[in-house]
Amino acid sequence: MGTEDGGGRGAALFDVDGTLVDSTYLHTVTWWEAFHQAGRTVPMADVHRAVGMGSDHLLDHLLGEDRDRGGDAAVSAAHRTLYAEYWPRLAPLEGAAELLRECARRGWTVVLASSAEAEELAVMRKAVGADDAVADATSSDDVEGSKPAPDLVRQSLERAGVPADRAVFVGDTVWDVEACGRAGVPCVGVLSGGVSEAELRGAGAAQVFRGPRDLLEHIDDSLLAAPPA
């Protein structure tokens, strides 16, 4: 847990799905299949654009807020079951572990901020394999509202013990960027989740890189160059 003032450090906050782990399209396919099993037809392109939201927001976004919610729990459970089949094969994106370690080496307090549930986040942390660089992590289990609500970002700031103006968030979706905007934290976007640079910048991303390897290679030109003095 962070101290009240972060010990003079800044916080580097990281989304995980699609940012550090190559999982976005696995979520797309398994949500699509979960909807199919429930007799719902949702275009896969729409599902992809919704990945990164918490499951509650995702269902509202894709099925409408005025729907009969009686089947929501079954759809979410089906997605969890289908996606869990991929857990043993989850792979980090190139440069993910090295990026986390480089941020820690530069003096950032590294905190993961994922809309995933705690059990799933633990699996992804194992896949990335850089827990030695991670100071703390937050999941959807830790907050009331998932992305694009700012709760995860704010909880991550609290864990790091720093104010918003001493933090940088790295994420791959417009939902990451929107959550950061509501929390007052600048967001660096990555394209590794399949969302375009135009979409990320349109949502308010301060910078955009191809993925964690590209961000690592250009870290001196990024908001992660050094923690705020």
Per-residue burial over 193-215, b = 16 or more CB atoms within 10 Å of its CB, e = otherwise: bebeeebbeebebbbbbebbbbb
**Phi/psi of residue 5, each to 5°?**
-110, 10
Q: What is the DSSP string of 143-183?
A: -SS-TTSSHHHHHHHHHHT--GGGEEEEESSHHHHHHHHHH
Instruction: Please tell me the predicted confidence (pLDDT) of residue 56.
Output: 81
Q: Which two tokens stand for residue 27?
A: 């979520």
- Give, in order, the Cα–Cα distances in Å from 107 to each of 112, 118, 163: 16, 26, 16
Instruction: Please tell me the predicted confidence (pLDDT) of residue 8.
Output: 52
Instruction: Please tell me the predicted confidence (pLDDT) of residue 229.
Output: 80
Q: What is the pTM of this model?
A: 0.94
Answer whether 2's CB lies under 8 Å from 109's CB: yes
The H-or-E segment that residue 208 falls in is strand 207-209
Q: Tell me how far apart the alpha carbons of residues 187 and 196 are, in angstroms, rounded to a whole number.
A: 15
Per-residue pLDDT of the chain (229 residues), as tens digits, is 333 444 458 999 999 999 999 999 999 999 999 999 999 999 999 999 999 998 888 999 999 988 888 999 999 999 999 999 999 999 999 999 999 999 999 999 999 999 999 999 999 999 999 999 999 999 999 998 888 999 999 999 999 999 999 999 999 999 999 999 999 999 999 999 999 999 999 999 999 999 999 999 999 999 999 999 8
Using alpha carbons only, how large is the chain's radius of gyration in Å? 17
Q: Tell me how far apart the alpha carbons of residues 229 and 226 are, in angstroms, rounded to a whole number.
A: 8
Could you report how far apart the first and last alpha carbons of the chain are, in Å? 21
